[in-house]
Amino acid sequence: MPEDLTSGLLTDTEVTQRVESLLEQMSLAEKAGQLTQFFYFNNLPPSQDIEETLRVDFSQQPAMVEAELAKGHVGSLLFVTDPAETNRLQRLTIEGNRLGIPAIFGFDVIHGLRTILPVPIALAASWDPDVIERGQAVAAREARAVGIHWTFAPMVDIARDPRWGRIVEGAGEDPYLGAAVAAAQVKGFQGDSLASAERVIAGPKHFAGYGAALGGRDYDEVNLSDSELWNVYLPPFKAAVDAGAGNIMTAYMDLNGIPATGNAWLLNEVLRGEWGFEGFVVSDAQAVHNLRTHGFAADLAQAGARGVGAGCDLEMAIGDPAFAHLPAAVEAGMLDERVLDTAVRRILAAKIRLGLFEQPYVDEDRARAVLADPAHREVARAAAQRSAVLLRNDGGLLPLTGAESIAVIGPLADSRRDTIGPWVFDYDSTETVTVLQGIRDHLGDHAPVTYAPGIRSAQRTFPSMFDMWGDNYPVDPEGFDDAAELDRAVALARDADVAVVVLGEWQNMIGEAASRSDLGFPGDQLALLQAVCATGTPVVLLVMNGRPLDLRWAAEHVPAILDIWYPGSQGGAAVADLVFGDVSPGGKLPFSWPRTVGQVPMTYSHTVSHEPVNQARRYWDEASTPLFPFGHGLSYSSFDYSDLSTDLQGITTPVLAAGGTVTVTVTVTNTGPTQADEVAQLYIHQRHGTASRPVRELKGFQRISLAPGESRQATFRLGRDELTYWNAAARDWVVDGTTVDVYLGGDSTAELTTSFTVTTAQD
Ligand code: NOJ
């Protein structure tokens, strides 16, 4: 049993009493301090670009923060991951604070701290809430051990436009899958008690609508219809709140013209009023300050007053916080002190519930032991195995069972930094297993493995704001000759039984501030693939990515394509398990994979309108269907779906009362030669009603493991929750009396279908 730092004795009344007794002793400046969170950037290499963008002098930043700590004007810190540093800064906080209130430390523990899991979009591709929860529990354990109490995760923004680089941080395009993945992550981070020495507060973000940035350009404005907001973009947040998330982070942009960080409707009415959220809200970095940039505030005092007044409790700041002006705003009558007090109460309550007053410091030896726990690596490996998606496998080229020699080609095949993906700052690169390493370890002396990057690593010319963390990418040897290197790669491929080509985006091309207007492979990667394929040696393409890339050429010419995402620190080991058939791929796409960037934004869950027969051909020059549909993913085995039925069959006018459900059953059979997983997916379509509803909507899924020849019945329940939708004309949640088509199968084009009719109580 993990240690409970508050000895499990805290009741709600006790928390309230402790909060009130602190609050009544606090000055206005101390209150504003509790609502201020500072980045603490120590030892950052100077980066002029970033300093200019953020208008911050990094060399002065630590001293500035320490001076504020000494005044007792800081409630929280972020970006510190070394346990000795969290302890030192915590001591400065407590000693600088008249009332001894500790700081709460936050950090972006997005897909692991030291043990790196696959990126979040990959975790979503596992369609496996259990492995996601276990993975984030590992992340929480490592984070809490070093003194981090709270993670800025999960990102639950729906993304239907892969030009937006942050698609990699979320669960893709679908609200139902997104909600399931959000809830699993919150449970993994938080467990049952925040006072556990192994858990952290989860902070779902970015509330709300951030993924719909215009043109896929990060931070750009978002204009969402009422229907899209309620039916698509908000459900994962609601699920995260229902799962108990202790924090919510605001979004940077304007939502329908109002900055999300100053949006009282979003924060106070929807989040707190309708959903009953009881935790605290943090702004995104500089977002309160930036209310001025939006033209939503005349000065910092007004920005602060509008932010806290809208329900944003804590300001995340690099420097010059708007909340430092809150005392002046109160004194000038711009802000009611009771509003300030409400925010302070929420921050203090979180600190008390975390057990920070009892145990503000961490044990550095224990931290080292937790970070080194081999059990964590096993979870990361399982998560990477379960995330991979087999996009194509012509002629059953995979798994590679008989290959006597293998050529591994591509600049990402042996890049540790790219293997773990974006949003990783504190990692031990020596323990990262690359694809090349994983394949070599797996084959040992059984088959020779040759390797050539084929193109230079220095093609990574993309500037990223995260490059300031001094990442260690592979270095091209002195005198690298492009033509000679390409020839060498081609020769190795020609001489081998199979070529395994690892291509994709460099990890700094994706994530925050990493939008693209083109989804092609970067640099000369496609030319390299074409040259290797021209040798006639069978090619397996492993795609390392966090967004769909343009695979049109590959999908026609490369027999086997496995999407391995950025698979994390055990990525190479997991990829070898998959490539050699120890495990069959069972992941499924969490987004529709477009053919070309001209098709985006794209979703399987669209409505039908004029001339539906032409729906698949809306462009002169390209189909409007995806290259691979939402939910697609092949296996080394094959599956059959049969006996689809509902328990309403034969009942002519069934009424779906509140709490009532329709039970849907289907039999799934493994008809192939290997033990494998299948994700059975249930989609519905409402034939008619008082709004136009999508052709298909995911409303259930189960990942099932089956032995060869084994059959299993899967049961799904559809209740009012699944059939209710937000009707923009009624401005309310509605269940229509209608006929509902049900589709069951292994992706969103599933053909096995049945239907049922419901008469709602309101008809
Ligand atoms: C800005 C990002 O938008 C947010 O997701 C992140 O948590 C903060 N920076 C802190 O790093």
| pLDDT tens digits, one per residue of 218-274 | 999 999 999 999 999 999 999 999 999 999 999 999 999 999 999 999 999 999 999
**Residues 565, 506 contacting (CB under 8 angstroms):** no
CA of residue 120 to ligand 1 center, whole Å? 15
CA of residue 517 to ligand 1 center, whole Å? 23
CA of residue 285 to ligand 1 center, whole Å? 6
Looking at the fold, whether 506 and 648 belong to one and the same domain comes out as: no
Dihedral of CA atoms 726, 729, 732, 733 in degrees, nearest 10, equals -40
Report pLDDT for 582.
98
pLDDT at 653 over 70: no
Compute the average pLDDT of residues 114-122. Answer: 98
Last residue of one domain, picked from the residues 342, 358, 374: 358
Residue nearest to atom 11 of ligand 1 (CA): 108
Compute the average pLDDT of residues 422-449. Answer: 91
Query: Ligand 1 site: residues with CB under 6 angstroms?
Result: 108, 152, 205, 284-285, 512
CA of residue 500 to ligand 1 center, whole Å? 36
Looking at the fold, whether 657 and 572 belong to one and the same domain comes out as: no
Q: Which pLDDT band holds residue 469 (cuts at 50, 70, 90)?
A: low
CA of residue 106 to ligand 1 center, whole Å? 11
Report pLDDT for 9.
66
Report pLDDT for 8.
65
Looking at the fold, whether 496 and 348 belong to one and the same domain comes out as: no
In ligand 1, which atom is closest to the CA atom of 155?
A: 5
Report pLDDT for 238.
98
Report pLDDT for 55.
67
Residue nearest to atom 9 of ligand 1 (CA): 285
Let me know if 284 is a catalytic residue: yes
CA of residue 570 to ligand 1 center, whole Å? 25
Is position 721 within any domain?
yes
Looking at the fold, whether 440 and 344 belong to one and the same domain comes out as: no
Compute the average pLDDT of residues 260-289. Answer: 98
Report pLDDT for 478.
87
Is position 579 within any domain?
yes
Q: Which of 152, 210, 465 gets mutated to test ligand 1 (max ligand atoms within 8 A of its CB)?
A: 152
In tens, the pLDDT along 504-522 reads 999 999 999 999 999 999 9
CA of residue 286 to ligand 1 center, whole Å? 10
Residue ranges making up the domain that contains 87: 12-107+198-358
Lowest-pLDDT range of 5-19, 521-535, 740-754? 5-19
Please give the DSSP secondary-structure letter assigned to residue 658: T
In tens, the pLDDT along 129-155 reads 999 999 999 999 999 999 999 999 999
Burial of 751 (0-12, 13-18, 19+ CB in 10 A): exposed
Q: Which of 39, 44, 108, 205 gets mutated to test ligand 1 (max ligand atoms within 8 A of its CB)?
A: 108
pLDDT at 763 over 70: no
* 646 vs 662: CA distance, rounded Å: 7
Report pLDDT for 295.
97
Report pLDDT for 103.
98
Report pLDDT for 652.
60
* 157 vs 373: CA distance, rounded Å: 32
In tens, the pLDDT along 7-57 reads 666 899 999 999 999 999 999 999 999 999 999 987 666 566 666 666 677
CA of residue 34 to ligand 1 center, whole Å? 20
Is position 393 within any domain?
yes
Distances in whole angstroms, Cα of residue 587 to Cα of each of 301, 379, 435, 530, 539: 50, 16, 18, 27, 21
Looking at the fold, whether 393 and 256 belong to one and the same domain comes out as: no
pLDDT at 657 over 80: no
pLDDT at 286 over 70: yes
Looking at the fold, whether 347 and 418 belong to one and the same domain comes out as: no
* 617 vs 630: CA distance, rounded Å: 18
In ligand 1, which atom is closest to the CA atom of 205?
A: 5
Looking at the fold, whether 534 and 648 belong to one and the same domain comes out as: no
Report pLDDT for 362.
98
Looking at the fold, whether 526 and 424 belong to one and the same domain comes out as: yes
Compute the average pLDDT of residues 390-404. Answer: 95
pLDDT at 322 over 80: yes
**Residues 414, 434 contacting (CB under 8 angstroms):** yes
Compute the average pLDDT of residues 663-689. Answer: 97
Compute the average pLDDT of residues 611-617. Answer: 79
Please give the DSSP secondary-structure letter assigned to residue 192: S
Which residues fall within 8 angstroms of residue 278, CB to CB, at 6 or more apart?
272
Compute the average pLDDT of residues 69-74. Answer: 96
Looking at the fold, whether 572 and 517 belong to one and the same domain comes out as: yes
DSSP string, 309-362: HHT--BEEESSS-GGGGHHHHHHTTSS-HHHHHHHHHHHHHHHHHHTTTT--S-
* 221 vs 253: CA distance, rounded Å: 5
Report pLDDT for 762.
54
Compute the average pLDDT of residues 408-416. Answer: 96
Is position 615 within any domain?
no
Q: Which residue has the higher pLDDT, 644 or 51?
A: 644
Q: Is 54 helix (H, G, I), strand (E, B) or coil?
A: helix
- Here the CATH number for the domain that contains residue 670 is 2.60.40.10
pLDDT at 107 over 60: yes
Report pLDDT for 115.
97
Kind and range of the H or E run holding 60: none
**Residue labelled with tokens 């790669």:** 489
Looking at the fold, whether 323 and 254 belong to one and the same domain comes out as: yes
Kind and range of the H or E run holding 238: helix 235-242
- Here the CATH number for the domain that contains residue 68 is 3.20.20.300
In ligand 1, which atom is closest to the CA atom of 206?
A: 5
Kind and range of the H or E run holding 52: helix 48-54
Residue nearest to atom 1 of ligand 1 (CA): 285
* 741 vs 724: CA distance, rounded Å: 15
Report pLDDT for 403.
82
Compute the average pLDDT of residues 297-303. Answer: 97
Q: Which pLDDT band holds residue 460 (cuts at 50, 70, 90)?
A: confident
Compute the average pLDDT of residues 174-188. Answer: 98
Looking at the fold, whether 419 and 553 belong to one and the same domain comes out as: yes
In ligand 1, which atom is closest to the CA atom of 169?
A: 5
In tens, the pLDDT along 352-385 reads 999 999 999 999 999 999 999 999 999 999 999 9
In ligand 1, which atom is closest to the CA atom of 203?
A: 7
Is position 377 within any domain?
no
In ligand 1, which atom is closest to the CA atom of 106?
A: 10
* 656 vs 759: CA distance, rounded Å: 6
Lowest-pLDDT range of 7-16, 89-98, 312-321, 511-520? 7-16
Report pLDDT for 658.
61
Is position 611 within any domain?
no
Q: Which of 249, 250, 283, 515 gets mutated to test ligand 1 (max ligand atoms within 8 A of its CB)?
A: 249
Q: Two tokens at 249?
A: 């982070």
Residue nearest to atom 4 of ligand 1 (CA): 284
Report pLDDT for 619.
92
Q: Two tokens at 183?
A: 């809830």
* 436 vs 453: CA distance, rounded Å: 11
Q: Which pLDDT band holds residue 612 (cuts at 50, 70, 90)?
A: confident
CA of residue 447 to ligand 1 center, whole Å? 45
Q: Which pLDDT band holds residue 465 (cuts at 50, 70, 90)?
A: confident
pLDDT at 691 over 60: yes
In ligand 1, which atom is closest to the CA atom of 252?
A: 3
Compute the average pLDDT of residues 76-96. Answer: 97
CA of residue 154 to ligand 1 center, whole Å? 11
Is position 190 within any domain?
no
List 128, 161, 284, 414, catalytic entry: 284
pLDDT at 470 over 80: no
In ligand 1, which atom is closest to the CA atom of 152?
A: 7
Report pLDDT for 659.
66
Dihedral of CA atoms 58, 60, 63, 65 in degrees, nearest 10, equals -60
Q: Two tokens at 7?
A: 């000895």
Q: Which residue has the higher pLDDT, 176 or 402?
A: 176
Compute the average pLDDT of residues 527-537. Answer: 98
Phi, psi of 676 (to 5 degrees): -160, 165
Question: pTM for the whole thing?
Answer: 0.97
Looking at the fold, whether 578 and 650 belong to one and the same domain comes out as: no
Lowest-pLDDT range of 39-43, 183-187, 606-610, 635-639? 39-43
Compute the average pLDDT of residues 571-581. Answer: 98
Q: How many domains does the chain have?
A: 3
Is position 675 within any domain?
yes
Report pLDDT for 457.
79
Report pLDDT for 617.
83
Q: Which of 105, 151, 220, 316 gets mutated to test ligand 1 (max ligand atoms within 8 A of its CB)?
A: 316
Report pLDDT for 1.
55
Report pLDDT for 574.
98
Residue nearest to atom 7 of ligand 1 (CA): 152
- Indicate the average pLDDT of the chain: 94
For Cα atoms 524, 530, 536, give the angle at the middle one, nearest 5 degrees: 150
Last residue of one domain, picked from the residues 578, 599, 620: 599
